[in-house]
Structure 1
Amino acid sequence: MSGPSPAVAEIRVAVRAALTARAALTAEAAGRTVLVACSGGADSVALAAAAAFVAPRLGMRAGLVTVDHGLQDSSSERAGAVAAWARTIGLDPVESVAVHVPEDGTGPEAAARSARYGALVDTAREHGAVGVLLGHTMEDQAETCLLALARGAGPRGLAGMPAVRELDGVGLLRPLLGMRRATTRAAAIESGFIPWDDPHNGDPRYARPRVRHELLPALIDALGDGVVGNLAQTARQLAMDADYLDRVATDETSLDVRVLAGLHPAIRGRVLHRFALDAGAVASALGHRHVDALDALITRWHGQGPVWLPGGVAVARVEGRLQKHGGKIPP
C-alpha cells in the first residue's frame, strides 16, 4: 500500500513536531485534547486532516472548532458542513461556534479576528485543550510582514505571527508557517472535503487581499518566488531579536527618569510601552507616537504637561519619576 502524498506527509510532519513540542511543555499532555481552528479553507482543512491522523498516534485527541462570524449568507450552513466533515474523519470534539462581530471602531477585519480568537480561547478552555492549531502558511506570514512594514511597525510588528503564542492561558500553534500555500492546497484535495475560498479574501476593500492579490505577486514578478521565503525568514529573525530585547526590558522596572535616560533607546521604548499598558492604555490603539511622547518626558524634558494615552490615561513626570496622572481628559 502506497504512503501519503508528499504534501500530506509534509503537513503531518509539521503537525507532529508542533504537538510533540507542546506536549513536552504542557504537563500531563498525553491523552488530552488539541483543537484545530478550521474555516473550511484549504489551509485549515489540510491541517485538520493531518491532526486527525497525527494526534491519536501521540496519545492525544484531536478536535475541531469552526467559527461562524455571521458576515455572509449561508455562513451557518458552511460551518455545519465543516463540522459534519470533521466528524467523518474522527475528530472529536467538534464545535461550531457563532460569534457577533461588533462595530467597535477597529475595522471589520480586526473586529472579526478579535471575536474569532475569543471563541477559540473559550472553546479550548471548555475542553481543557493543550492548544489550538491555526493554519497560517508562509504566504500569510509574508503578507503580515508587508502589512506591518506599510504601517511603519517596529521589530515586533515586522516579526509577524509567532509559531507559538499564549493567549489568555491558551496556546495558539501555527505549524504551517514554514510551508507554502500550494502544499496545503494539494493536501486539502485529498481530504475528502471540498474547501471554499472566503470572498473576503479577495475583496479589494481590505488591505490584506490587496497585498495577497496585487502587492505580493508584483514582488514575486520583480524579485522571484524566493521573496516569500525571504520575508518569512526576516520575520523569524526579527522575532528572535524582539524576544531577547523584550526579556531585557522586562528586567528593568525603575521609572526614575535618570535610570531610564541611561537605557539604550531600544530597551527604553519597550519599558515605556509596558508601563503604558500597565497604566491602563488601550493596547490596540497604543502606537509609536504615544511611546515617543513618553520618551520626550525623559530625553526632551522642558517642563511639558502630561502625555495622554489611548483610553484617557495620562502620564506625567513628577519629581524625577514617571507616574500615572490623575487629571481629567482634556476637552
Structure 2
Amino acid sequence: MSSDGPVAAADARALFAGFAGAPALVLAVSGGPDSIALLWLMARWRRARKSGPALHVVTVDHGLRKESAAEAREVKRLAASLGLPHRTLRWTGDKPKTGLPAAARDARYRLLARAARTAGASHVLTAHTRDDQAETVLMRMARGSGLTGLAAMTDQTERDGIRIARPLLPLSKAALIATLDKAGIAYAVDPTNADPHFTRPRLRALMPVLAAEGLGPHALARLAARMARADAALELMADGAERFLALRNPGRAPDAIDAGAFMGLAEEIRVRLLLRMINAVGREGPAELGKAESLALAMEQAMEGTRSGILLKQTLAGAVISLTRHRLKIASAPPRRAASRKRP
C-alpha cells in the first residue's frame, strides 16, 4: 500500500478486516481530508458487507475556529448521505493559554471515549496516516525520546477504557486526497495545520527537504516500525530479568533486590526495570527517561567505589531509591509536607 493513488476497495477490505466482528465503531471525523476519507472508505466497506459493526460518526468541535461549527455540519450532511448517524460534541469551558494542542487532544479523546461507551462501540477509529507517523517520529527525536518513544504511534492503543484504532497508518495523506478527488467528495482545510506557531506544522514544512535526502514519511514510518520491534524485544528481556531477580531474592521483601545481580544486567534493561519499579511505587510518576538514565549511571559509579554502607540514596518521581553493595531497595517516598504559612 505504498502508492499515492486512490485507495482500492480490496486495500480497504484488508485495512478494516479486523473490525468485522465489532458490535459498533465510532469514527472520529473532523471534516479534514484524512478523516473524511476514513468516513467514506468505512461506509463503502460496510455497504459491501451483509453484516458488520454499526458505524457512528462523531465530530469534536473544539470551538477554537469560527469555521468549526460549519465544518461539523458538513460532516453531518455527508454522514447522512451515506446513511450513518452523526453527533457533534463540543469542548466547553476555558481553554489554556499554553499547551493548547495537547489539551485539545486530551479533550478530544475524552469526548470520543464517552461517545463510544454511549454507542456500545468497542473502538474509536481515527484517521492518522503515514505522514502523521513521520511527524510524530521527528517530534520524539527532537525531545530526545528513547526506543519506546521513537516507535511513535501503534495501530491500536487503549484510552479511557476504549480501544483507539488507526487503520490508515499504512497510507499516505496523498492517497486519501486522491481517493476523495476521484469520488468527488469535498473536505475542509484547517489553516492551523500550516500555522508555524505549532510544532507539527513547522516539521511538516521541513518534510520536502528531508524527503529529498531520503528521510521522507516512508523512511520515518519504517524507522518507527523497527523501533517498535526492538522495543517489544527489549520489553520481553526486561520481563525475563524481573523473573531472574525474583529467583535471586527468595524469602526477602520484593522491594529488596540483589544489587550485584541487578548491576550485572545490560544497561538498557537496568533503565527499563528502574522505570518499572519507580512507576509502580512512586507517588509522582511517571519517571522521566533521562532522569532514570542518570540514576542508572550514578548507581554504576557508586558500585565502582570502595565505600561501604549506603552507597546512594535518591528520590525520583515520588520513590526513594537506596543502594548498598548488596541490596537495591525502591519504596514509596513519604508524602511531601505542605509548605507552612508564614505568620505575619
Q: Normalised by the size of structure 2, how large is the TM-score?
A: 0.80
Q: Distance in 1 between matches of 2:161 and 2:211?
A: 38
Change (3 A) 1:91 1:244: farther
Q: Distance in 1 between matches of 2:337 and 2:149?
A: 29
Change (3 A) 1:271 1:13: farther
Q: Distance in 2 between matches of 1:192 and 1:62?
A: 22
Change (3 A) 1:82 1:192: farther
Equivalent position to 1:314, from 313, 319, 328: 319
Amino acid at match of 2:25: V
Runs of 4+ in 1 over 6 A off after TM superposition: none
Confirm or deny that 1:19 pairs with 2:16: yes
Q: Distance in 2 between matches of 1:293 and 1:218?
A: 35
Residue 236 of structure 1 aligns with which residue?
225
Offset at residue 125 of structure 1 (A)? 1.6
Confirm or deny that 1:281 pairs with 2:276: no
Residue 251 of structure 2 aligns with which residue?
none
Change (3 A) 1:14 1:61: farther
For structure 2, which runs of at least 5 residues remain unmatched after alignment? 247-254, 303-309, 340-344
Residue 46 of structure 2 aligns with which residue?
55
Offset at residue 14 of structure 1 (A)? 4.5
Confirm or deny that 1:168 pairs with 2:160: yes
Offset at residue 303 of structure 1 (A)? 3.8
Change (3 A) 1:15 1:164: farther
Amino acid at match of 1:7: P
Q: Distance in 2 between matches of 1:55 and 1:300?
A: 60
Q: Distance in 2 between matches of 1:264 and 1:111?
A: 37
Confirm or deny that 1:65 pairs with 2:58: yes
- Match of 1:178, SS state, is coil
Equivalent position to 1:76, from 48, 69, 74: 69
Change (3 A) 1:229 1:59: same
Contact kept in structure 2, 1:156 and 1:238, CA below 8 Å? yes
Contact kept in structure 1, 2:5 and 2:174, CA below 8 Å? no
Offset at residue 168 of structure 1 (A)? 3.2
Residue 249 of structure 2 aligns with which residue?
none
Range that drifts further, 53-62 or 236-245: 53-62
Q: Distance in 2 between matches of 1:198 and 1:43?
A: 12
Contact kept in structure 1, 2:278 and 2:319, CA below 8 Å? no
Residue 211 of structure 1 aligns with which residue?
203
Offset at residue 192 of structure 1 (A)? 5.3
Residue 174 of structure 2 aligns with which residue?
182
- Match of 2:283, SS state, is coil
Q: Distance in 1 between matches of 2:314 and 2:29?
A: 46
Contact kept in structure 1, 2:30 and 2:72, CA below 8 Å? yes
Q: Distance in 1 between matches of 2:68 and 2:188?
A: 11
Contact kept in structure 2, 1:37 and 1:132, CA below 8 Å? yes
RMSD: 2.7
Residue 271 of structure 1 aligns with which residue?
273
Structure of greater Rg = 2
- Match of 1:47, SS state, is helix
Change (3 A) 1:71 1:105: closer
Q: Which whole-Å deviations, capped at 9, do the CAs of 1:107-162 have from their partners, x for residues lacking one?
A: 11111111111112221122121212211111111111111111111111111111
Q: Normalised by the size of structure 1, how large is the TM-score?
A: 0.83
- Match of 1:51, SS state, is helix
Amino acid at match of 1:173: A
Confirm or deny that 1:245 pairs with 2:247: no
Amino acid at match of 1:308: L
Change (3 A) 1:207 1:108: same
Q: Distance in 2 between matches of 1:280 and 1:247?
A: 26
Range that drifts further, 256-265 or 102-111: 102-111
Residue 307 of structure 2 aligns with which residue?
none
Q: Distance in 2 between matches of 1:187 and 1:81?
A: 18
Offset at residue 297 of structure 1 (A)? 6.2
Q: Distance in 2 between matches of 1:82 and 1:134?
A: 15
Amino acid at match of 1:163: D
For structure 1, which runs of at least 5 residues remain unmatched after alignment? 24-28
Confirm or deny that 1:125 pairs with 2:122: no
Amino acid at match of 2:174: A
Q: Distance in 2 between matches of 1:7 and 1:67?
A: 27
Q: Which whole-Å deviations, capped at 9, do the CAs of 1:213-267 have from their partners, x for residues lacking one?
A: 1x2111123x25x732111111111111112222332452754152432322222
Residue 137 of structure 2 aligns with which residue?
145
Residue 194 of structure 2 aligns with which residue?
202
Q: Distance in 2 between matches of 1:321 and 1:244?
A: 26
Offset at residue 104 of structure 1 (A)? 6.1
Contact kept in structure 1, 2:5 and 2:178, CA below 8 Å? no
Amino acid at match of 2:315: V
Q: Distance in 1 between matches of 2:84 and 2:258?
A: 56
Q: Distance in 1 between matches of 2:156 and 2:75?
A: 25
